[in-house]
Structure 1
Amino acid sequence: MKLFSKSLALAFAASVVSLGAVAQDWPDKTVNVVVPWPPGGPSDIAARPWAKSLTESLGKTFVIDNRAGGGGNIGTAAVVRAQPDGYTLLITSSAPIVINPSVYKGMSFDPLKDLAPISNLLRVPLVLVANPNLPAKNLKELIAHIQSKKGSFSFASSGNGTPQHLTAELFNSVQKLEMVHVPYKGSAPAISDLLGGHIPIMFDSTIAIMPHIKSGKVRPIAISGNKRSPLLPDVPTFAEAGIPQIESYAWYGLFAPAKTPKAVIDKINGETIKFMKSPEFAKIRAETGSELLADTPENFTKFVHAEAAKWSKVAKDSGATVD
Structure 2
Amino acid sequence: MKAAVLVMRTAYGLTLAAALAAGPARADGALPACKPLRLVVPFPAGGPADLLARALGHAMQERHGMAVLVDNKPGANGNIGMDAVRRAAGDGCTLAVVPAGNLTINPTLMPALPYQVARDYRPVALLAGSPNVLAVHPAVKARSVAELVQLARRAGPPLGFASPGVGSGLHLAGVLFAQKAGVTLLHVPYKGTTQALNDVVGGQVPILFGTLPTLAPFLQSGALRALAVTQARRSPAAPQIPSLAEQGITGVEVSSWYALMAPAGTPAPVVDALSREVRAVLALPSVREALQHQGMEPADEADGAPRALDARIRAETAAWAALIRKHGIQAE
Same-fold call, TM cutoff 0.5: yes
| Residues 118, 254 of structure 1: 8 Å contact kept | yes
Equivalent residue runs for 1:165-184 within 5 Å: 165-184=171-190
Show the counterpart of 1:255: 261
Equivalent residue runs for 1:97-246 within 5 Å: 97-246=103-252
The DSSP-based 3-state class of the residue aligned with 2:40 is strand
* Worse overlay, 79-88 or 270-279: 270-279
**Residue 105 of structure 1: CA displacement?**
3.3
User: Quick one: which amino acid aligns to residue 311 of structure 1?
Assistant: W
Show the counterpart of 1:8: none
**Residue 145 of structure 1: CA displacement?**
1.1
The 1:25–1:183 alpha-carbon spacing in structure 2 relative to 1, beyond 3 Å, is closer
**Cα separation, 2, equivalents of 1:100 and 1:188:** 21
User: Quick one: which amino acid aligns to residue 326 of structure 2?
Assistant: D
1:302 is aligned, of 293, 306, 311, to 311
Q: Unaligned regions of 5+ residues in structure 1, if any? A: 1-22
**Residue 259 of structure 1: CA displacement?**
2.1
| Residues 89, 265 of structure 2: 8 Å contact kept | no
The DSSP-based 3-state class of the residue aligned with 2:203 is coil
| Residues 237, 297 of structure 2: 8 Å contact kept | no
**Cα separation, 1, equivalents of 2:290 and 2:189:** 29
* Worse overlay, 86-95 or 274-283: 274-283
Q: Does 1:320 align with 2:326?
A: no
Provide Cα deviations, 1:124-179, integer angstroms capped at 9, x if missing partner.
21110000001111111111111222443211001121111101011122223221
| Residues 103, 320 of structure 1: 8 Å contact kept | yes
The 1:292–1:110 alpha-carbon spacing in structure 2 relative to 1, beyond 3 Å, is closer
User: Quick one: which amino acid aligns to residue 314 of structure 2?
Assistant: H
The runs of at least 4 consecutive aligned structure 1 residues that moved more than 6 Å come to none
The DSSP-based 3-state class of the residue aligned with 1:233 is coil
| Residues 173, 318 of structure 1: 8 Å contact kept | no
Show the counterpart of 1:3: none
| Residues 126, 299 of structure 2: 8 Å contact kept | no
Equivalent residue runs for 1:262-301 within 5 Å: 262-287=268-293, 288-294=295-301, 295-301=304-310
The TM-score with structure 2 as length reference comes to 0.87
Q: Does 1:24 align with 2:33?
A: no
**Residue 280 of structure 1: CA displacement?**
4.1
**Residue 54 of structure 1: CA displacement?**
1.0
Show the counterpart of 1:67: 73
Provide Cα deviations, 1:41-82, integer angstroms capped at 9, x if missing partner.
111221111111012222221111111111111111111111
The DSSP-based 3-state class of the residue aligned with 1:236 is coil
**Cα separation, 2, equivalents of 1:192 and 1:101:** 29
**Cα separation, 2, equivalents of 1:71 and 1:213:** 28
Equivalent residue runs for 1:5-84 within 5 Å: 24=30, 26-84=32-90
Please identify the structure whose Cα radius of gyration is greater. Answer: 1
Show the counterpart of 1:10: none
**Cα separation, 2, equivalents of 1:292 and 1:121:** 6
The DSSP-based 3-state class of the residue aligned with 1:64 is strand
| Residues 228, 235 of structure 1: 8 Å contact kept | yes
The TM-score with structure 1 as length reference comes to 0.89
**Residue 311 of structure 1: CA displacement?**
1.2
| Residues 150, 178 of structure 1: 8 Å contact kept | no
Q: Unaligned regions of 5+ residues in structure 2, if any? A: 1-28
The 1:291–1:65 alpha-carbon spacing in structure 2 relative to 1, beyond 3 Å, is closer
May I ask how many residue pairs the two structures share in their alignment?
A: 302
**Cα separation, 2, equivalents of 1:120 and 1:25:** 18
**Residue 226 of structure 1: CA displacement?**
2.5
**Residue 28 of structure 1: CA displacement?**
3.9
The DSSP-based 3-state class of the residue aligned with 2:30 is helix
Show the counterpart of 1:13: none
**Cα separation, 2, equivalents of 1:25 and 1:154:** 49
